[in-house]
Chain A
Amino acid sequence: MSRNVIGWLQAAPLAAVLGCFLAAPIVMIVIVSFWGATEYSIYPAFQFDNYEFLFGSAVTYKVFLATFKYAAITWALTLTIGFTVAYFLAFHVRSLQTQIALFLLCTIPFWTSNIIRMISWIPFLGRNGIANQTLIDWGLIDEPLEWLLYSDFSVILAFVHLYTLFMVVPIFNTMMRIDKNLLEAARDAGASGWQTVWHVVLPLTKPGIMIGTIFVVTLVMGDFITVRFMSGSQRANVGRLISNDIGLLQYPSAAATAVVLLLTVLMVIGILLRFVNIRKEL
């Protein structure tokens, strides 16, 4: 057998897996997105009705905007918290044992499922929940805060809770590779603590921030369950739009929305990669 054939054979298993479980489903979704549908049936076709309806509806734009809003706010918060936690772990914790212990502590929430972590917020944030009761007991408020649960606040709170670790890990990883002498060199040059963070640590952490950003943005933009649970079905994002369509058996419409969402996320990642070269991190 020639080297060429052996090479193809070696690549075949991975290619088959990716083809069956990644490429084929996407191709199918794209095909179905051009199909037609009535109230009770779907039929193969090649028409742009689904896309026309999607782009013609004001709801689409509103929901996409809401999705971007969730992604942007969650990104900003997870980045702030993630950077701070990673900075503390990487530069202020001296011993490796403590570092590992604290790092494992960060992962404890992941020992239970997403849904359980989300739902556990509900009794805490509810109208008669712990948060409201405590605030009333302390005399800070007279009646329960309504916006704590089933609001944008609770949705974003859950997102931040669920996804901050995805920011901490890559940033921590990049920070650990920063030569500690650089911080001393900055101090020697008269940089204050903040100046060192801004001019030395932050630029050198960019690849990690970018990887974390991609994780968080794609997870938030593709999510539907968190928004449904934490908003009590009162808020929408693109994921919920798709899930509603599927619930109504409007598969072609759901497929079209999925294709648009996929392209949007790919564009966002494309833009992010323009800014930072993450290749050396991988």
Chain B
Amino acid sequence: MRTGHDLEFVHLTKRYGDTVAVNNLNHIIASGTYVCLLGPSGCGKSSTLRMIAGHESVSEGAILLDNVDISALPPAKRGTAMMFQNYALFPHLSVRDNVAFSLRMQGVDKPSRHARADELLALVHMSDYADRLPAQLSGGQQQRVALARALITKPKVLLLDEPLSALDPFLRIKMRAELKRLQRELGITFIHVTHGQDEALALADEVIVMNNAVIEQAGPPREVFNSPRTEFVARFMGGHNVITIDGAKAALRADDVQLGEAGRAATVTSVEYQGATVALTATTEQGEEVLAIVPEEDFYRTPKTPGEPVTLTWDERRVHRLQA
């Protein structure tokens, strides 16, 4: 739905010398959505984000926000704010001064900019740490400060460059819930670059999968996960098998594969216990590897070991044809 506050890429291209980092992107991101730019390293997702932020020049095409071409504006005039991967907090400034930095640059007087900074610190639950220096904070706390600093300019679009990659797994899950909460409360667009598909699925209203400088597929997370358009997307999202059926590639969810009586014959190559489920890898007679994720209980009723023959079955309706 077009509301007029959307972010739009028009033939967006980025070149570094002869290499094309971002190739002719055309996409519309509706205002107020949580978008995850997902892809392997070097796929162009970070370049795209940095072009939106204004830290990288646009080689060709345009970026429109509110129907205004922002691609030639300085970063602070775009209505975007960026949260850097390693947070980039100013080490010589207190937490409060870090958050108030952009207001200070605008010449806002000290009492009002500190009052505003305290409001934002309250929003990210960091009020008690306002007088500390960044070095005295943990990774998660630094991230909250970086968030508050980015939000103080009231951006329409918040850009997050792999915001969770520096955190340990436990904190990562906690912080991603926090990000989602903030996005819902503020109602602004979040564009979140990540290479973790679980992060993207958990957070995003829209997932944009990029590969080789182009968008492979974009859509709601369930759609992207359940009906991957290409082999790359199916493999990258994980949990899928890519098999050849009648000479065409098709995707099949690993949890749709069962061990049964009639079906394809295969040989078990590895068994991994994962708690609630067991991941069993088998090679079919055609030489294709198929991953089956079976419930723990079912597996241990008739346990298999590598080298044993098995029969794999699945519901043909669950097989999803790939376009490429």
Does A185 interact with chain B (Cβ within 8 Å)? Answer: yes
Find out whether the CB atom of B91 lies under 8 angstroms from the CB atom of A204.
yes
Find B88's partner among A182, A195, A203 (CB 8 Å cutoff). Answer: A182
- Chain A CB within 10 A, most for which of B55, B89, B101: B101
1/0 contact trace for B60-80 toward A, CB 8 Å? 000000000000001111000
Q: Contact at A182–B55, with CB atoms within 8 Å? A: no
Q: Tell me the complex Cα distance, A219–B280, Å.
A: 74
Determine which of A187, A195, A199, A200 lies in contact with B75 in the assembled complex, contact meaning CB atoms within 8 Å.
A187
Asked if B245 CB lies within 8 Å of chain A CBs, one says: no
* Cβ B90 vs Cβ A188 within 8 A: no
Q: Interface residues of A, CB < 8 Å — how many?
A: 17
Q: Please report the C-alpha to C-alpha distance between residue A200 and residue B92 in the assembled complex, in whole angstroms.
A: 8
Q: Which residues between 72 and 116 of chain B lie within 8 Å of chain A, taking CB atoms?
A: 74-77, 81-82, 84-86, 88-92, 101-102, 104-106
Minimum distance in angstroms from B241 CB to a CB of chain A: 40
Complexed CA–CA distance, A187 and B73 (Å): 12
How far apart sit A191 and B81, CA to CA, in the bound complex (Å)? 13
Question: With A184-B55, A195-B105, A199-B104 in contact, do A189 and B88 touch (Cβ < 8 Å)?
Answer: no
Cα–Cα, bound, A182→B101 (Å) = 12
Q: Is the CB of A189 within 8 A of B149?
A: yes
Partner of B90, one of A182, A187, A190, A192: A182
> A181 is contacted by which of B88, B102, B105, B106 (Cβ under 8 Å)?
B88
Q: Is the CB of B86 within 8 A of A181?
A: yes
Q: Contact at B102–A189, with CB atoms within 8 Å?
A: yes
Is the beta-carbon distance between A188 and B53 smaller than 8 angstroms? yes
In the complex, A52 has a CB within 8 A of chain B:
no
Measured CA separation A188–B152 after assembly (Å): 12
Smallest CB gap from B80: residue in A: A188
Taking CB as reference atom, which chain B residue is nearest A191? B105
Q: Say yes or no for A186: interface residue by CB 8 A criterion.
A: yes
Determine whether the beta carbon of A185 is less than 8 Å from that of B90.
yes
Q: Point out the residue from A179, A182, A190 that lies within 8 Å of B105, measured CB to CB.
A: A190
Q: Return the CB mask of A171-213 against B: 1 if under 8 Å, else 0.
A: 0000000010110111111111001000110011000000000
Residue in A179, A188, A195 whose beta carbon sits within 8 Å of that of B86 in the complex: A179
Q: Is B153 positioned at the interface, with any CB of A under 8 Å from its CB?
A: yes
What CA separation (Å) do A191 and B77 show in the bound complex?
11
CB pair B76 A203 closer than 8 Å? no
Interchain CB contact under 8 A, B104 and A187: no
Partner of A200, one of B81, B90, B153: B90
Which of B81, B92, B149 has most A Cβ within 10 Å? B92
- The reply to whether A181 and B90 contact each other, CB–CB distance below 8 Å, is no
Q: Which residues of A lie under 8 Å from residue B101 when comparing CB positions? A: 186, 189, 191, 199
Chain A residues with CB under 8 Å of B102's CB are: 189-191
CA A191 to CA B90, docked complex, whole Å: 13
Task: Provide the B142-162 mask, 1 if CB < 8 A to any CB of A, else 0.
Answer: 000000011001000000000
Q: Which residues of B contact A184 (CB under 8 A)?
A: 55, 82, 84, 88
Q: How far apart are the CA atoms of A188 and B149 in the complex, in Å?
A: 10
Point out which of A186, A195, A204 has the most chain B C-beta atoms below 10 A from its C-beta.
A186
The docked-state distance in angstroms from the alpha carbon of A187 to that of B75 is: 7
Contact A185 B76 (CB under 8 A): no
Considering the complex, which residues of chain A in the window 197-244 have a beta carbon less than 8 Å from any beta carbon of chain B? 199-200, 203-204
A181 to B91, CA, bound (A): 12
Q: How far is the CB of B301 from chain A (nearest CB, A)?
A: 54
A188 touches B91 (CB 8 A): no
**A134-B22 Cα distance, complex, nearest whole Å:** 56
A194 → chain B closest CB, angstroms: 11
**Which single member of A182, A188, A191, A200 contacts B82 (CB below 8 Å)?**
A188
Minimum distance in angstroms from A47 CB to a CB of chain B: 52
Q: Is the CB of B55 within 8 A of A203?
A: no
Q: A179-B86, A181-B84, A199-B104 are in contact. Are A189 and B92 (CB under 8 A)?
A: no
Contact A188 B105, beta carbon cutoff 8 Å = no
Residue of A nearest to B155 (CB): A188
Please tell me which one of the listed residues B76, B88, B150 contacts residue A190 in the complex, with CB atoms under 8 A apart: B76
CA distance A181 to B90 in the complex (A): 10
29 A-B interface contacts by CB (under 8 A): A179-B88, A181-B84, A181-B88, A182-B88, A182-B90, A184-B82, A184-B84, A185-B84, A185-B149, A186-B101, A187-B55, A187-B75, A188-B53, A188-B76, A188-B150, A189-B76, A189-B102, A189-B153, A190-B74, A190-B102, A190-B105, A190-B106, A190-B153, A192-B105, A199-B101, A200-B90, A203-B92, A204-B91, A204-B92
Chain B: residues with CB nearer than 8 A to chain A? 53-55, 74-77, 81-82, 84-86, 88-92, 101-102, 104-106, 149-150, 153
Which 9 interchain pairs have the tightest Cβ spacing? A190-B76, A189-B102, A181-B88, A185-B88, A203-B92, A191-B105, A188-B75, A190-B105, A188-B82
